[in-house]
Structure 1
Amino acid sequence: MRRFPVPELVAFAGRALTAVDVPADDAELVGDSLVAADRRGIGSHGLLRLPLYVRTIRAGGVTARARPRWLREHGATALLDADGGLGQVAMAVAVDRAAALAGTHGAAVVAVQGSSHYGAGGYWTDRLTDRGMAGLLTSTTGASVTPFGGARPVLGTNPLTVAVPSSGDGPLAVDMATSTGAYGKVVAARDEGREIPQGWAVAADGSPTTDPAAALGGALLPFGGPKGSGLSVLLEVLAAGLTGANYADQTVDMWIDPGSRMNAGHLLLAVDTAAFTGRAHTEARAADMQERVRSAGPPGGAVHAPGDPERAHQRRTGDRVPLAAPTVDQLDRMAAELGIEGLGGDT
């Protein structure tokens, strides 16, 4: 692992994205979201994805200078078209509108279509919990997961992020894929020459595999058997069925063809805790639940409340972010292709 200061990494991402015509403010936003994922130990959604974003923009799969526009607003709901742009750009607009509507109505639902990958979901629900609001976020992706009992990829990894503000040391938050393992983690394992755990995937013939390359040519498995499979199906219907977005198996993922238009759909629910028993009450109750979970372990054992592992990783790394050597090499190759300054050596 090689470590780099946070500002250096965000600036590097900004240079790469502006080199392919992304506006400076949007480039900084995307860079910050990717580095934030690496800081939390979610490397599958961190700078590992930056070369993919650059390839996709250059190939025409993502619009560098997208102009998201509102298609419909009714009461506490709204539908945003992302104009084929970066998912982070659309989500920044969606979160602000959801928070404003929830502040007026107590709760709000904002849907997005015509989008792409938005990074780690926790980056967006943090923007709600910072305002005293609870959030739920999901998205469609490319097809990479087979339903329970299947072998052909039909579903996406259909991420689910749920967060509640807490007066403790951070929100009570779950940010997960509905596949047993995240697609990006399988890509990272392939790039780093590692196997993936048993139970994550099947090869194209339906046989279990720990080879990430075979998994990428086959299908990932839903977590929890039929329960995770059912949840994934319903999340996909909500993210695509309330919008004009594609289902996963109607999508050519940017990993496979960077020139494809994914037309991803996102669904964001915001709940203003002030509309119920009050923000202070809800945040105190969430903090109480965090402590109840943490105290459930055996003597000398540790139990993590949702969100604890990511915060612990960020505390350990501080403002010097570790990146795997293969990721650094990919980033430097990308920089050379773009004619910009690379990351260079360890800092």
Structure 2
Amino acid sequence: MSSQSLPLLYDWEKLQSFCCDVFTRAGVPVTDASIVAESLVQADLRGVESHGVVRTGIYLKRVEQGMMDPQAKPSVVSEYGNVALVDGNNNFGSVVGSYALDLAMERAKLHGAGIVGVKGSNHFGTGAYYALKAIQQNLILLVMSNASQTMPPTGGVRPFIGTNPLCIGVPAGEENPFILDMATSVVARGKIIVAAQKGEKIPLGWAIDKDGNPTTDAEAALEGSVLPIGGPKGYAISMFIDILSGVLTGAGYGRYVNNMYENWQEPQNVGHFFLAIDISRFMPIEMFKQRVDQYMRQIKNEPKAPGVSEILVPGEIEYRQTEARKQGGIQLPPKVVEELHEIGLKYGLQLSDAAFQHHPVIGETQGLTG
């Protein structure tokens, strides 16, 4: 099958298996390959395509060029009580992040809260990937990461800090969990990358060009800088995340976090910061979940502004996206499909095997509708 005739709609489980097989055949241990693939596909399921399988190619290239080491396992550098410092030893960010999350959750169960800092890591995907795992353990999670410089300080022109993301996950009972997963820029730089791949314009206010001028050109934005959310407030929050994730842990910070697309001489040395909280140290978990449910319902029942049909809570849109894409498939851009197709051929795999097959529901087939 030629790349031109490949489908654009994919089954999430088959796509995850395809990515896992690709990483495994590229020399990544199968357990770690499974984590990386799960992280990527979960991002696509949630509608965060900028952190999805579009990253497969650059991850593989970093491994092939010796910029990531999938054989070197993360390790604990120091620990004291509920606090630990992890060196990712330049493994995949999602592998390192998963290791650090497990430590934070373990210490939260023992001490009420677990705090784990990370150095020597790489791009770790979406924060929601970790928050969802903590929620399953009845824990609240705050997770943050720094990133390579793509955003100027307020008043500046040149990129100095990253779009450093912050994620907070809170379990609920009958309602969907609260998941805030945001970059500290107006938009994640990955979305501009996706727009550039699609040849699309970006909204005014997302970014400036290399001379500091506002731009709607995605390519010019990639040469320039994305802008902080809320102006100086987003800039300050990004600095705070950089201090906890980078300065405090011994990882890179500011201009010392290396760009995975541009720097082919040094590892990224990304830093992360995990804080897990055991809810049961405050009140019984079921009581907490009931209170969260009540809180969310009260929010959603607030009077609505003209033209607003529903008040949403953080994470609700992504939850609905996940359910819809599990049922109806993940649609990938043609350029991403072509790249994955070529990667698959390189490792003896067929991307078309992961194509979404529509399964009619009862009453939809000709024999049941008449």
Assess same fold via TM > 0.5: yes
**Does 2:221 align with 1:215?**
yes
Asked if the contact 1:41/1:314 (under 8 Å) is kept, the reply is yes
Shifted more, 207-216 versus 289-298: the winner is 289-298
C-alpha distance in 2, partners of 1:346/1:103? Answer: 41
Asked if the contact 2:141/2:169 (under 8 Å) is kept, the reply is yes
Partner residue in 2 for 1:16? 22
Asked if the contact 1:20/1:64 (under 8 Å) is kept, the reply is no
**Does 2:332 align with 1:342?**
no
Partner residue in 2 for 1:325? 334
Counterpart residue identity of residue 333, structure 2: A
SS at match of 1:111: strand
Change (3 A) 1:66 1:178: same
**Offset at residue 88 of structure 1 (A):** 1.0
**Does 2:177 align with 1:133?**
no
C-alpha distance in 2, partners of 1:344/1:277? Answer: 48
C-alpha distance in 1, partners of 2:283/2:213? Answer: 51
For normalisation by structure 1, the TM-score amounts to 0.96
**Offset at residue 197 of structure 1 (A):** 1.2
Change (3 A) 1:256 1:338: farther
**Does 2:315 align with 1:316?**
no
Change (3 A) 1:265 1:177: same
C-alpha distance in 2, partners of 1:318/1:340? Answer: 22
SS at match of 2:203: coil
Asked if the contact 1:60/1:260 (under 8 Å) is kept, the reply is no
Asked if the contact 2:175/2:296 (under 8 Å) is kept, the reply is no
**Offset at residue 140 of structure 1 (A):** 1.1
Partner residue in 2 for 1:206? 212
Q: Deviations over 1:302-336 (max 9, x none)?
A: 11101101011112222422222221112112223
Counterpart residue identity of residue 146, structure 1: P
SS at match of 2:351: coil
Asked if the contact 2:11/2:354 (under 8 Å) is kept, the reply is no
**Offset at residue 78 of structure 1 (A):** 0.4
Partner residue in 2 for 1:35? 41
**Offset at residue 254 of structure 1 (A):** 0.6
**Does 2:169 align with 1:169?**
no
**Does 2:63 align with 1:54?**
no
Counterpart residue identity of residue 336, structure 1: L
Partner residue in 2 for 1:188? 194
Partner residue in 1 for 2:312? 304
Q: Deviations over 1:17-67 (max 9, x none)?
A: 112210011101110111111011010110010111001110111102121
C-alpha distance in 2, partners of 1:306/1:214? Answer: 31
SS at match of 1:282: helix
SS at match of 1:253: coil
**Offset at residue 289 of structure 1 (A):** 2.2
C-alpha distance in 1, partners of 2:257/2:276? Answer: 27
Counterpart residue identity of residue 336, structure 2: T
Percent of residue pairs bearing the same amino acid type: 33
Partner residue in 2 for 1:146? 152
**Offset at residue 344 of structure 1 (A):** 6.2
Within 5 Å, which residues of 2 pair with 1:119-130? 119-130=125-136
**Does 2:262 align with 1:256?**
yes
Change (3 A) 1:345 1:235: closer
C-alpha distance in 2, partners of 1:170/1:59? Answer: 41
SS at match of 1:137: strand
If you compute each CA radius of gyration, which structure gives the higher value, 1 or 2?
2
**Offset at residue 286 of structure 1 (A):** 1.7
Partner residue in 2 for 1:90? 96
**Offset at residue 99 of structure 1 (A):** 0.9
C-alpha distance in 2, partners of 1:277/1:193? Answer: 51
C-alpha distance in 1, partners of 2:29/2:265? Answer: 20
Partner residue in 1 for 2:31? 25
SS at match of 1:318: helix
**Offset at residue 339 of structure 1 (A):** 4.2
C-alpha distance in 2, partners of 1:249/1:321? Answer: 36
SS at match of 2:331: strand
C-alpha distance in 2, partners of 1:169/1:2? Answer: 33
C-alpha distance in 2, partners of 1:19/1:260? Answer: 24
Q: Deviations over 1:174-196 (max 9, x none)?
A: 00100111011110000011111
SS at match of 1:204: coil
Within 5 Å, which residues of 2 pair with 1:88-127? 88-127=94-133
**Does 2:308 align with 1:295?**
no
C-alpha distance in 2, partners of 1:248/1:285? Answer: 40
C-alpha distance in 2, partners of 1:263/1:150? Answer: 25
Q: Which runs of 5+ in 2 are unaligned?
A: 1-6, 357-370
